[in-house]
Amino acid sequence: MRNPLQDQLLKAGLVKKGQVDKIAREQHKQRHAKGGNAVAPDPDKVDAARLQAERAERDRALAEERNAQARRQEVQAQIRQIVDTHKVKRTGEIDYRFNDGSVIRSVLVDTALRTQLASGALVIVRHGEGFELIPRAAAEKVYGRDPAMVVLDHGRSDGDSAAKSESDDDWYGQFKVPDDLIW
């Protein structure tokens, strides 16, 4: 059984009846062929497919790494923006010292800022190469993005350290502390 295109080509004289029959038989064989005529896969094609799969995997890993780097940069930009918009202007000549890992750093503050730092109302965060003071509400936003950026926070305390400090307060309460002592 021929299709209409084959009939038209035959009537126009562009093909011969033998050619049409031969093509029809090949198409019929392809449609009704069983698994016995399967040809072994070409090793070059297998290698090419394996290389393509490896490239796709490598490209996916690189894209994932780039996306992670972009997310980290985005978080850092958000933290910079939070600190820039909420930083407290530092004035004063009192050196407020704090630990930054294994190094002792200091910032200049006045009496009011020192009191707020000690009570936990203000927090010290990393900002570029230096440090800035920000209010507690802004510090919570920074904690949500990267807790390592917060250097000093007297407002957050662990339950274990709170119990420890109460026992320490009781023991140290027996000693008189001079009124003019400044740390």
Q: Render pLDDT for 36-72 as a digit per residue (tens, 0 to 9).
A: 555 556 777 778 888 888 999 999 999 999 999 999 9
The residues with which 125 forms a beta bridge, in sequence order, are: 132, 150
Yes or no: say if 108 and 89 are a contact pair by the CB < 8 Å rule. no
Which residues, in sequence order, are CB contacts of 157 under 8 Å at separation 6+?
Answer: 165
Mean pLDDT score of the chain: 84
The pLDDT score that the predictor gives to residue 67 is 96
Per-residue pLDDT reduced to its tens digit, 90-137 = 888 889 999 888 889 999 999 999 999 988 899 999 888 889 999 999
The pLDDT score that the predictor gives to residue 66 is 96
Yes or no: say if 111 and 118 are a contact pair by the CB < 8 Å rule. no
* Percent with pLDDT over 90 in the chain: 31
Which pTM was predicted? 0.55
The pLDDT score that the predictor gives to residue 164 is 63
